[in-house]
């Protein structure tokens, strides 16, 4: 962890009493409650000099039995004077709305729309227009509970190894994580040869 990163996190914790600071992987992360999300963004920009928006992302923080019910939202901003960043994070529940920080950093609007579309987060305000997926797409592809049906339907595109034949008995194929039982979904037509 660089001294400036730890200093930015310590200063944020002093400015916002509800913030909790944690250092890992040479980066300080400041966790703030959801209701202080916009306030923390304003403090980072105005008081800490983090005028450069880097990225905003989300992750499905669900555990088995509660997948898709809780998300962690991460915001990385940079102080251009010393080129060091500050990582803000908050937790958003399934019935909670994420307040927008697009009025603080204009570039955050695109990232918020992506997180809403890919993870099913609800943004405060009017629903945003679709960004990456079509209007008819069902589901949220980056959530842990999204079924990767294309892995079941589409065969491996690579060629056979030398000496292998299609008539030889094969070992039982294990499904990758997130892929349902092979009996689920549409079937491939068998080769009529």
Residue 93 lies in a domain: yes
Instruction: Give the number of domains in the chain.
Output: 1
pTM across the whole model:
0.72
Residue 177 lies in a domain: no
Residue 105 lies in a domain: yes
Q: So what's the pLDDT on residue 74? A: 96
Q: So what's the pLDDT on residue 147? A: 72
Q: So what's the pLDDT on residue 167? A: 56
Q: For the segment 82-123, what is each residue's pLDDT rounded down to a tens digit?
A: 888 899 999 998 889 999 999 999 999 999 999 999 998 999
Residue 111 lies in a domain: yes
Structure tokens at 17: 């009493």
Helix (H) or strand (E) holding 30: strand 27-31
Residue 178 lies in a domain: no
For residue 60, pLDDT beyond 60 = yes
114: domain range?
3-123
What CATH number does residue 70 fall under? Answer: 3.30.460.80
Q: Is 141 exposed, middle or buried (0-12, 13-18, 19+ CB in 10 A)?
A: middle
Residues near 103 by beta carbon (within 8 Å), at least 6 away in sequence? none
Q: pLDDT averaged over the chain?
A: 81
Q: So what's the pLDDT on residue 152? A: 55
For residue 21, pLDDT beyond 80 = yes
Residue 165 lies in a domain: no
Average pLDDT for 24-32? 83
Residues near 43 by beta carbon (within 8 Å), at least 6 away in sequence? 12, 15, 16
DSSP, collapsed to helix, strand or coil, labels residue 85 as strand
Residue 25 lies in a domain: yes
Q: So what's the pLDDT on residue 163? A: 58
How far is the C-alpha of 128 from the C-alpha of 100, rounded, in Å? 11
Average pLDDT for 125-136? 85
Residue 50 lies in a domain: yes
């Amino acid at each position: 962890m660089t001294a400036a990163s730890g200093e930015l996190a310590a200063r944020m914790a002093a400015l916002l009493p509800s913030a909790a600071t944690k250092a890992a992987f040479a980066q300080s992360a400041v966790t703030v409650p959801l209701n202080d999300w916009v306030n923390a963004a304003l403090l980072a920009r105005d008081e800490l000099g983090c005028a450069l928006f880097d990225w905003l992302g989300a992750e499905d923080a669900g555990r088995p039995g509660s997948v898709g019910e809780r998300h962690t939202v991460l915001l990385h901003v940079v102080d251009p004077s010393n080129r060091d960043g500050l990582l803000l994070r908050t937790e958003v529940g399934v019935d909670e709305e994420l307040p927008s920080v697009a009025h603080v950093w204009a570039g955050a609007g695109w990232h918020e729309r992506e997180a809403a579309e890919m993870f099913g987060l609800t943004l405060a305000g009017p629903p945003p227009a679709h960004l990456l997926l079509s209007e008819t797409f069902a589901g949220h592809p980056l959530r842990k509970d999204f079924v990767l049906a294309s892995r079941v339907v589409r065969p491996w595109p690579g060629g056979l190894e030398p000496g292998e034949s299609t008539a030889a008995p094969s070992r039982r194929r294990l499904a990758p994580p997130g892929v349902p039982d092979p009996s689920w979904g549409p079937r491939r037509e068998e080769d009529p040869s």
